[in-house]
Structure 1
Amino acid sequence: MQTVLWTLIFLATYCFMEFMAWFTHKYVMHGFLWSLHKDHHKKDHDSWFERNDVFFVFYAVVSIGCFLLWKYHIFWAGLPIGAGIFAYGLSYFLVHDIFIHQRFKLFRNVNNWYAKGVRRAHKIHHKHINKEKGECFGMLFVPFKYFKK
């Protein structure tokens, strides 16, 4: 029974992270922490790292914190929550940083309808290089208007 409960918590956390990604992007990254996110829209440096990567580190710390709370028997659901946050972060890294932005030269030839829609939606978002008017959505939930055959 515990395995079923942990699996449900893991899946719920993973799905909730899609909301958190949208919320953080719209109200934090394009809000009061724009100073950390703007180099993602307009690269103003020669480094491979971006100030925007601080957001990845924040969620990694939250995930690790959940693992530690579980390990030291402080919070029994820390393991599935930490794993859900980690799994979403890994998915996000693979889709956003590797597939879309090509920070590593992998998945260059993926060319199905879903991949094209995700790329198209992200390109439209990056068309706006300023803080305002950047259309925001999650990584997995992309409005259907971007999917064309």
Structure 2
Amino acid sequence: MNLLIVLSTFLIMEGMTWCIHKYIMHGFLWSLHKDHHDHSNHGPMEKNDYFFLIFALPTIALMYYGTLQNFNFWFYIAVGIALYGMAYFFVHDIFIHQRLKILRNTKNPYLLAIRRAHKQHHKHTRKEKGECFGFLWVPIQYFKMYFNKSKA
């Protein structure tokens, strides 16, 4: 049952991420997210990186509360959120934005589709008219673009 809670939470986080990205990061907290879209060199950190704390602190609190309650469901929800956050960091910051120079020349169609969709998202430098707000699941057109190439 606990594994089901973790996996369900991880999957639900994709929808939550889409909503948070579209309506909060491109909404009232655009002032923090804006530097992530302006394509200038900010060095190793951006204001956008504060979202790590904004999302991590409640997750840590949930995890702590869950341990006080004999590792109840809140703990396992927090584990699912934390695993999603780790996946986000590795895929978004390391793979897509190349904060560490690895997987630059991948031929994996799934990874290429995610990278392409994110590039489409970043072509918009203002908070309006955004697209591709998802993270691990992006519009099907990007998957078709790379999966069709791999079968040809």
1:79 aligns with 2:75: yes
TM-score by length of 2: 0.89
Which residue does the alignment assign to 1:118? 114
After TM superposition, the structure 1 stretch with the greater mean CA deviation from structure 2, 86-95 or 55-64, is 55-64
CA shift, 1:70, in A, is 1.2
Alignment check: 8 A CA contact 2:132 2:138 kept: no
Residues 54-101 of structure 1, C-alpha deviation per residue, up to 9 Å, x if partnerless?
112111112111111012118721221111011000001111111000
1:106 to partner: Cα distance? 1.7
CA contact (8 A) 1:25 1:136 kept: no
Write the mapping of 1:9-20 to structure 2, written as runs, cut at 5 A. Answer: 9-20=5-16
The normalised TM-score by structure 1 is: 0.90
| Aligned-pair CA distance for 1:22 | 0.4
Alignment of 1:1-149 (within 5 A): 5-44=1-40, 46-73=42-69, 76-147=72-143, 148=145, 149=149
Work out the percentage of aligned pairs sharing the same amino acid. 52
Which amino acid counterpart does residue 93 of structure 1 have in structure 2? F
Q: Structure 2 regions of 5+ residues with no counterpart? A: none
* Runs of 4+, deviation exceeding 2 Å: 43-47
In 1, distance between residues paired with 2:95 and 2:25?
21
Structure 1 residue runs without a partner (length 5+): none
Q: Is the 8 A contact 1:9 1:80 kept in 2?
A: yes
Q: CA RMSD in A?
A: 1.5
Aligned-partner residue type, residue 54 of structure 1: Y
- Residues matched between the structures, number: 145
